Amino acid sequence: MYFNGRRRGDDGGEHIPRLTSYVPQHDVLCAHETVLEAVTFACALRADHGYLKPGRARATERAHHSRRAIELCGLSAVANDVVGDANRGGGGESARGLSGGQRRRLSIAKALVAGASVCFMDEPTSGLSSSDAATVIETLSRLRRAFSCSFACVIHAPRARAFEAFTDLVLLARGGRCVFNSLDGGGGGAAASPTPKRVEDYLAALGHAKPRGVPIAEYALDLITPVDESESDVAEGRAARVDVSNDLWRRYEDFVAPAMRAAVDVAIARPGTSPRSITAAGARPRETRVTCAWRQFRVLFSRDTRLARRNRDVLLAIFGNAILMGVLVGVVFLDVRNSGSENVQYQLSFVFMVIVVGALNANAAVPVYVADAEIFSGETSENMYSVFPYAASKALTWGLINGLATCVFATITFVLAGFATSPTDSIARAGANYGRFLLAVLLAFFATDALMGAIASRATSHQAANAVIGGALGVLSLFNGFTANRRNLPTWLFWAQYASPFYWGFVAASVPLMRAYDPGGGGGTSDEYDYEALSRAFDFQRWMEWGGLVAMVAMTCAFRALVALALARK
């Protein structure tokens, strides 16, 4: 693609995305976002207001710019309405929301607030009713004048009103072969009669006069629409349309295309102002994005937290599950801390169960990565933000939500299991035990959450993500330090436990709790207890109390890096 005669990738060509926008055929929108929020989000990341002073003036300009785009797109009446899910009906927050035409106009408004000079659109009227399609075309006509933006649209079956709205037109036959271009000499020139008349005159000059009463759009497309020669109706005379299409293409190639290619060569040989020069007056003139990484993260995090708060069904499910599981596990191991040191292995079972169930809370974030994949692809292709701010925002938003739910779960189990009220533990020791226990459970959760995020970021569907995650967690949970550890694993396989967050979480939580029973360690219990024998049986070592925490932090960082890498390769 060339812009002012300069190819993308050449000097200054990397700035072309700052001057263009793209509206896909299928609208990619956040279901729980309002119209105003969606447009403001795009404006905050793409609109270039570098000429304004930072602070309130710039924020006011963005708000004005967003509302103007909404007004011109005819969406003022639904500016505060939630977009909704086009594939769902009914009531409540998951209702259908905007109509198809309104969703398309919202996509156009998001593209326009970037201040683009050219907006590319794929099938802007596809799947819309006649009235919605007409409204979209009228909207494009208004926006072209208001924003001084050129719209390049691909339409396979334009209605008459859409056909008449275009100032310039290119007709393509099978295989992308051009048969008409309104900018060539044969078409009459851009300043000549309206586009439908130019098409009609051009076809008539080639011996294909339009029959009376037939719309020119329908007639032109009927001439160039290819017919599969394997169909039975070819023998009935429709194969002649293939010959007409080939004839139009050959005439264009013989008499028009050479002049057009020569004009293109001249434009490339004498390029105009480079995209870099055009953006030099705006914000961050040397960068391909308008905003810095920190601002990208702030805008993304603001949207993610807002949408998460609004999605009450998911929040209720997450915290309801945490409370329910906390009560169930706590009842199963009720007051196990005060059952005596002879039941210490029963206490280790409790620790193991809490680590595993708490870590699996991370599964709640998997649908988010999968569902937002299309939104991420669309917004990054528009150069709104880079991978790392997006990955950091998602990790922090859902890490905080699921991490808080994990804290609720761990606290309930800790209290019900008697660790907070044990007569053998002082208040200070119980508090220290709780802090180390909660930290180990949280870090095991964060490491597992990062692992699931890395897998989900590469998955093409929720089912594929669940299948791979299930297999990965199944393998890692085998090497957990409780049912399988260095003492009972084959020599050539024991190293696998060091790659499991379940193992590190288990040892980091167990060692301080079990040392509290050791008379030599000041545990304060009168029961006969051999901590050294327990250490040998489960391969506990003093350094694991903190080494396990460090290992889980390292695993979290490594898996988060894999998330960013997976997103960057999409």
Q: What is the pLDDT along the chain (570 residues), one digit of tens a residue?
A: 777 777 766 655 567 777 888 888 888 888 889 999 999 999 888 876 544 444 554 677 778 888 988 998 889 999 999 998 765 544 344 456 888 889 999 999 998 887 788 899 998 888 888 888 888 888 888 888 877 888 999 988 777 777 888 888 899 888 888 999 887 644 444 444 677 888 888 889 888 898 888 888 888 888 887 555 444 444 445 556 667 888 899 999 998 888 888 888 888 888 777 777 776 655 555 566 678 899 899 999 999 999 999 888 899 999 999 999 999 999 999 988 777 656 778 888 999 999 999 998 888 888 888 888 888 988 888 888 999 999 999 999 999 999 999 999 999 999 999 887 766 666 777 788 889 999 999 999 999 999 999 999 888 888 888 899 989 888 888 888 888 777 777 877 778 888 899 999 998 888 887 776 544 444 444 444 556 666 776 777 778 888 989 999 999 999 999 999 988 887
In this prediction, residue 403 carries a pLDDT of 94
Please state, in angstroms and rounded to a whole number, the distance separating the CA atoms of residues 482 and 407. 22
**Of 124, 234, 244, 238, nearest in space to 173 by CA:** 244
Q: How far apart are CA 210 and CA 149, in angstroms?
A: 33
- For residue 242, the tally of other CB atoms under 10 A from its CB is 18
Where would I find the H helices in 252-386?
257-269, 275-278, 293-310, 312-332, 344-359, 366-371, 373-381
Sign, Cα dihedral of 539, 543, 549, 550: negative
Residues 6+ apart with CB under 8 A from 243: none
- The token duo for 118 is 């050219």
The 8-class DSSP code of residue 420 comes to S
Environment class of 349 (CB within 10 Å of its CB; exposed 0-12, middle 13-18, buried 19+): middle
Sign of CA dihedral 493, 474, 568, 561: negative
- Pair of tokens at residue 62: 């963005």
Residue 341: its pLDDT value, please?
A: 56
Contacts of 107 (CB under 8 A, 6+ apart): 23, 24, 27, 28, 29
pLDDT score of 549 = 93
Half-sphere exposure of 361 (CA within 13 A, CB side): 37
99 within 8 A of 35, measured Cβ to Cβ: no
Give me the pLDDT at residue 522, please. 42
- DSSP line for 121-155: EE-TTTT--HHHHHHHHHHHHHHHHHHT-EEEEE-
SS3 at position 174: helix
| pLDDT for the residue 524 | 44
Residue 118 is inside which H or E element, if any?
strand 118-122
CA–CA gap between residue 489 and residue 547 (Å, rounded): 21
Q: What is the per-residue pLDDT for 87?
A: 59
Contact (CB, 8 A) for 386 and 289: yes
Q: How many beta carbons lie within 10 A of that of residue 137, not counting itself?
A: 22
How far are the Cα atoms of 124, 254, 443, 553 from residue 18, in angstroms, in the given order? Answer: 22, 37, 40, 38
Q: Supply the pLDDT for residue 391.
A: 93
DSSP string spanning 452-500?
HHHHHHH-SSHHHHHHHHHHHHHHHHHS-SSSS-TTTS-TTTGGGGGG-
